[in-house]
Each structure stands twice: as structure tokens, then as C-alpha cells.
Amino acid sequence: MSDQMKIMVIQGPNINMLGKRETGIYGHMTMEGIHEQMKSVADQAGVEIEFFQSNFEGEIVDKIQECLGEFDGIIINPAAYTHTSIAIRDAISAVKLPVIEVHISNIHQREEFRQKSLIAPVAAGQIVGFGPVGYHLAMMGMLQIFEQIKVVRARAEQNA
């Protein structure tokens, strides 16, 4: 792997409909707009970033698995699969990469069935309720994790 850190952003079902669906809950910004802002932050930080969206659970599981050995961290909005997908949770556990879970709305203030995240216990952190800004916060969190990884690697090299 190169010295340049790499982030995979995975968007779950219906995230491709942002800006059109339930704007009172999710706002008017599109998924593409969110990705443009994340790309700008990544470019400024010297980090590579790629984006993936799927409405299909198995495709999301496949993408998480493909990150192993290719990416240094994952930012994921599993959307509705947050509350139902043991398969996505298991894939995240298996790759052992830092993962930050993002939700545009505050899932803890919504319907009872949306308040439980199966992903949170295997994620480095969870950001909820900040709208599209939550993705920016996730980027800041991942950059901090990358700095910690670099420090650990540098210490290991000094001790080798």
C-alpha cells in the first residue's frame, strides 16, 4: 500500500435519492453534492477517496470486503440496513478497518425501529443528526484516525 491513505465512502439504500426524498428529514443536498464536498476535503488533506452507493445489501457486503488491503478506512451510511443487516456488521468486523457510521438524521429521535444500530458496536464512531455536515465530521474523524495510525507505524519502525 502507498503512503497515501485511502477512504471508501459507502452509501446504502435510497441515499441516491437525497435532495428528492423526504427533504424535511434529509434536506435538499444531493448525494453527489455531499461527495463533491468530501472529495474537496480529501484533496486538501492528501487523502484518496472513492464512493460507492447501492440499494442491495449483498453489493454493500462485497464492497466492504473489497476494501481489505485496498483502503485504510470506511465511512458508511448503511441507511435502512443499519437496523437490520447482520451481514454488513459481520463484513465490517471481518475487514478490521476503522469505520465511521454516518446518518443525516438523528436516528435516536426517530421511530423506535430506527433507534438501534447493528453497525455502531463494530464502528470506530457514529455521527448522527447533523445533516450532510455529518459527512464532513466523519472525514475529520477519519483523518484523526489516520494520524494516529501514522504515529503507531512510525513508532513500530523506530523499534524495529
131 found inside a domain:
yes
Domain boundaries, position 95 = 6-159
Strands 6-11 and 73-77: parallel
* Residue 135 a catalytic site member: no
Give tens-digit pLDDT for 99-157.
999 999 888 887 787 778 999 999 999 999 999 999 999 999 999 999 999 899 899 99
Output the DSSP codes for 48-94.
EEEEEE-S-HHHHHHHHHHTTTT-SEEEEE-GGGGGT-HHHHHHHHH
In a domain, 75, yes or no: yes
Number of domains in the chain: 1
Give pLDDT, residue 22: 80
Q: Which residues are annotated as a binding site for substrate?
A: 77, 83, 90, 104-105, 114
Closest CA to 49 of 153, 117, 146: 146
Position 25 pLDDT exceeds 90: no
Mean pLDDT of the chain: 93
**Which cell goes with 71?**
483502503
Task: Pick the catalytic residue from 26, 35, 81, 108.
Answer: 26
Asked if the structure places residue 153 within a domain, the reply is: yes
Asked whether residue 24 is assigned to any structural domain, the reply reads: yes
Residue 152 located in a structural domain: yes
User: If pLDDT is split at 50, 70 and 90, which confidence band does 2 have?
Assistant: low
In a domain, 118, yes or no: yes
Within a 10 A sphere around the Cβ of 19, how many other Cβ atoms? 16
On whether residue 1 sits in a domain, the answer given is no
pLDDT score, position 9:
98
Give the residue-averaged pLDDT of 58-62.
98
The rounded distance, in Å, linking the Cα atoms of 102 and 106 is 10
Does 31 score more than 80 pLDDT?
yes
**pTM for the full model?**
0.92
The whole-number average pLDDT for the span 38-56 is 97
48 φ, ψ (degrees, to nearest 5): -80, 145
Question: Is position 103 annotated as part of the catalytic site?
Answer: yes
Catalytic-role residue among 103, 108, 135, 136: 103
Q: What is the DSSP letter of 18?
A: T
Average pLDDT (61-65) is: 98
pLDDT confidence tier of residue 1, bands split at 50, 70 and 90:
very low
- Asked whether residue 69 is assigned to any structural domain, the reply reads yes
Q: What is the CATH number of the domain that holds 10?
A: 3.40.50.9100
